[in-house]
Amino acid sequence: MKTAKTLIGFTIAALLLAFQARVAAQEPFYQGKTIRVIVGFTSGGFYDRWSRLLARFVPKYLPGNPEMIVQNMPGAGGLIAANHVYNVARSDGLTIGMTSYGMYLDQLVGRKEVQYDVRKFNWIGSPEKSEVLMYMRSDAPYKSIEDIRKATTPPKCGSTGTAGTDYILARLIEDTLGAKIETVLGYPGGSEIDLAVEKGEVVCRGLTAAPYFGREPFISWRKKNFVNVLLYGGVKRDPRILTRRPFTKFSTS
């Protein structure tokens, strides 16, 4: 009996060692694979830039060092990309969605175009934390939020979709400050809105502060005084915002 128990013990130990060796010999899950980052906006904007920055550096820190590529899928303020990630992409850990942070709002209000459930996405995180602001062309007749409130014709502001910062901020300003804003929807990305501002199709846009201070055309615009910041959502005024004209500090905290 003692010999039998000893033999069983040796057998179990051998099996465990063999299993551990086999597990140790397995390749990392991501080795030889490609991760796709689906961006819900066009190239050139901050969502796209963040995605490409992540694609450049993140694979170095993943076991197996996979390739990471960025695919732009603009439309409806990131809604098309969100629908694709939820319904088309395989749930195999190889697809990441970079969509509007307000995408849950379209589902919350019951828009029929929404074909996803935000509660079933696996949330990874956000690349930044940034305040919101609204810029206005300097040659527009609206030099302050009060000017917008008194205007008989509201300013036209560009927006990518109903879940974007631009749209949400415009509605928030209307509801809290009583300043009417006409939102022009349908731009595929922030860069296209900025181009529309240059052409005069629209005169304003709401966005997060990071791209406004971090990329063109804003860097050149600020130097030329092409636009003014009419509203800033930070608790404290950002020193990079010049106050040549009336300025509104708007805090949601």
Split the chain (253 residues) into runs of 10 and give each run's mean pLDDT: 46 47 69 96 89 93 95 92 96 92 89 94 85 95 96 96 91 94 94 95 94 91 93 87 56 47
Residue 172 neighbours by CB under 8 Å, 6+ apart = 252
User: What ranges do the domains of the chain cover?
Assistant: 1-127, 132-249
pLDDT at 6: 47
Given a contact cutoff of 8 angstroms between Cβ atoms, the answer to whether 166 and 183 are in contact is yes
The domain 132-249: what is its CATH number? 3.40.190.10
pLDDT at 102: 85
Tokens linked to 42? 């066009």
Among residues 94, 96, 98, which one has the least CA distance to residue 78?
Answer: 98
Distance CA 78, CA 178 (A): 28
Whole-model pTM above 0.85? no
Given a contact cutoff of 8 angstroms between Cβ atoms, the answer to whether 19 and 77 are in contact is no
pLDDT at 128: 78
pLDDT at 74: 94
Among residues 189, 233, 244, which one has the least CA distance to residue 215?
Answer: 189
Given a contact cutoff of 8 angstroms between Cβ atoms, the answer to whether 51 and 39 are in contact is yes
